[in-house]
Each structure stands twice: as C-alpha cells, then as structure tokens.
C-alpha cells in the first residue's frame, strides 16, 4: 500500500471520529450554538469528502493487485460518511422541535453512533487484513526481485563461461591449423629427404661405375 494513501486514510479515520463526537455534542445544543456546531460539522464533512477523493485518486494509480482492496475500503468510508451526513440532517431538521431532537439523542443518535462505531471497527479490521495482505505481497515482490537478481547473476556467470569456451574453441582451431601446417612442412621435408637419398644413391652408383671403368681400363691395358 502506498504511504500517501495510508496518510490520507489515517487523516480520514481521525476526522470521522471527530465528526461523530461533534454530532453527539450538537444533538444536545439549540439556537445559535447549534448553528455554529452544524457549520463546523459540515466543514469537517467537506474535508472528509476531499480526503476520500484523494484516496480514490491515489488508489487508482497503484498496482491492480492492490487497487481492488483499497477501492473496497474507500466504499466503506463513503458509506460511513453518508451515515454522518444523515445524522447531521436529522439534527438540523429536528431543530424546530426539541422533542424530536431529544428523541434523536436518546434513540436514533445512539443507533447511528453504534452503527458508525461498528462500521469503523469493521473498517479497522479490514484495514488490518489489507495491511497484512499488502505485507505479504511486498514480501512476495521482494522475494521475486531477489530471485530475479539471482537469475541475472547466474545468466551472467553462464555468459562468461560461454565466452571462455568460445575462446578455448578458437584457440583449439588455431592449434589445429598450426598442426596442419606443421604436418605439411614435415611431409615436404620427408619427401625432399627421400628425393635427396635417391639422388645421393644415384651419384654413388655413378661414381662406383666410373671407378670400375677406370680400373678396368687400367689393368686391361
């Protein structure tokens, strides 16, 4: 839940409790004092409505998973405020008749305040459940972020290992190329050595033949 929404919600709960106390006090007043108290209550109701509008605007800017619960709480607050408006209307409409106002003080006001108190109790319980749900969502979100960070770290390590393997593969390719070149050079050298052997053998054979010819002509003639 957003901190801004919680601030508006706290202000509304305080305003609602204050308006309930003022309605209780206004039911026992009459004349000019009653008018002043009614004006004060009406100003407080206007301020509470402004807080509800701010909460509604703030809730609609939050994530969908959180927004639905907050909008349900706002509907409860609107219902609570409508009860306060009804109480104020009964107080002002009964100003002309003291008996009606006393009846309101003894019965209707007690019922209304009881409803308001019960409703606020339900709202507080709903707020607590909503906060617990929000905490669980926040913990889940934090766990998801930690898991995501771990996944990114693992992917980074795997990418580094992949780069190392590619580098080793390129080195092996270079070694294979060099080995191939070395084999060709050695093959050429072996062929040259074989050719040289034949040439040397041929020269030796020619020399031996020449020596034999020389010796033949020397001893024969």
Phi and psi (nearest 5°) for 94? -95, 5
Does the pLDDT value for residue 37 go beyond 70? yes
pLDDT digits (tens, 9 = 90+) for 40-75: 999 999 999 999 999 999 888 888 888 888 899 899
Count of Cβ atoms closer than 10 Å to residue 128 Cβ: 10
Rounded to an integer, what distance in angstroms lies between the CA atom of residue 64 and that of residue 70?
Answer: 10
Question: Of 1, 128, 131, 5, nearest to 56 (Cα)?
Answer: 5
Structure tokens at 64: 């969908």
Say how far apart CA 73 and CA 138 lie, in whole Å.
19
Question: Do 116 and 84 form a contact (C-beta atoms < 8 A)?
Answer: yes
H-helix or E-strand containing 34?
Answer: helix 31-59
- Distance between CA 152 and CA 83 in Å, rounded? 54
- Residue 104 contacts residue 89 (beta carbons within 8 Å): no
Task: Supply the mean pLDDT for the chain.
Answer: 80
Taking the model in full, what pTM does it have? 0.44
Question: 174-209, pLDDT tens digit by residue?
Answer: 888 888 888 889 888 888 888 888 999 899 989 998
Other C-beta atoms closer than 10 Å to the C-beta of 25 total 14
Tokens encoding 109: 């006001």
């Amino acid at each position: 839940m957003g901190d801004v929404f919680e601030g508006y919600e706290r202000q509304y709960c305080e305003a609602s409790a204050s308006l309930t106390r003022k309605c209780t006090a206004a039911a026992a007043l009459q004349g000019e004092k009653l008018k002043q108290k009614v004006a004060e209550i009406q100003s407080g109701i206007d301020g509470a409505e402004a807080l509800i509008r701010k909460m509604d605007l703030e809730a609609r800017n939050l994530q969908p998973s959180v927004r639905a619960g907050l909008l349900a709480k706002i509907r409860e607050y609107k219902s609570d405020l409508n009860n306060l408006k009804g109480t104020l209307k009964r107080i002002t409409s009964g100003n002309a008749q003291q008996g009606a106002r006393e009846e309101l003080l003894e019965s209707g006001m007690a019922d209304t305040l009881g409803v308001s108190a019960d409703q606020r109790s339900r709202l507080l319980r709903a707020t607590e459940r909503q906060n617990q749900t929000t905490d669980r969502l926040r913990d889940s979100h934090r766990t998801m972020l930690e898991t995501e960070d771990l996944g990114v770290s693992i992917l980074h390590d795997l990418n580094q290992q992949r780069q190392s393997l590619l580098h080793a593969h390129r080195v092996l390719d270079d070694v294979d190329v060099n080995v191939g070149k070395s084999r060709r050079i050695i093959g050429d050298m072996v062929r040259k050595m074989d050719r040289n052997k034949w040439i040397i053998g041929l020269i030796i054979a020619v020399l031996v033949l020449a020596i034999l010819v020389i010796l033949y002509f020397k001893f024969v003639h």
